[in-house]
Structure 1
């Protein structure tokens, strides 16, 4: 593989009327992703890139949805792959904890009313 940079651009519909441009770049030396959404322009992570990196094509409005598979291949072995896995794991843990907290609060409400748990 040569050191030439490869690039794939998706148009993704977000909250703005105009679709955002999500650009992925890869070479032998790096893998990077950029988005024109407000978070992306500030250098922060955004759901538009994360969704594509995790294989979602739902918000893509360009006609190149099949290239998401290429992005997933580019991701393999990069530091981004590890951080995406960590993010997904942590989000799942958060959702489980949030569900458990809601249940605990409901049980406390029942107990405070003298109801059987």
Structure 2
């Protein structure tokens, strides 16, 4: 069984959360001790690291990050995370377009 450990900074920069990725017979178990992780919801920490963003790690262990990437390469988990990131980007772009359309309409209505 392969197990990887990561420490990530909390939003305040001081609190650290522990993430653990463990290869299982069914795939990958990836836990985090932040509130979302404990509640069983996807958390930003795990999503960012799965997408290759190690910037929130307390200490970047390149070998562990590379090992995580190797564990998830081609896996349904990585595909789902990538789809989530694409959907979130599409929502942000749509929100920007909506805000801009409202501004244009307000300008036109103001005469």
Output the TM-score relative to the length of structure 2.
0.90
Conserved in 1, the CA contact under 8 Å of 2:51 and 2:82?
no
In the superposition, relative to structure 1, how do residues 104 and 63 fare at CA in structure 2: closer, same or farther (>3 Å)? closer
**Runs of 4+ residues over 3 Å off in structure 1:** none
Give 1:99 shift: 1.1
Give structure 1 stretches of 5+ with no counterpart: none
Give 1:62 shift: 2.7
Listed one character per residue, the Cα deviations across residues 49-99 of structure 1 (whole Å, up to 9, x for unaligned) are 011100011110135244212211111222211211110110111111011
Correspondence list, 1:20-35, <5 A: 20-35=17-32
Give 1:10 shift: 0.5
- Match 1:111 to one of 104, 108, 111: 108
The corresponding residue for 1:79 is 76
SS in 2 for 1:24: strand
Correspondence list, 1:46-57, <5 A: 46-57=43-54
Listed one character per residue, the Cα deviations across residues 16-65 of structure 1 (whole Å, up to 9, x for unaligned) are 63310011111453211000001100111100101110001111013524
- Write the distance in 2 (CA, Å) between the matches of 1:49 and 1:63: 14
User: Is structure 2 residue 5 aligned with structure 1 residue 6?
Assistant: no
- Write the distance in 2 (CA, Å) between the matches of 1:103 and 1:65: 41
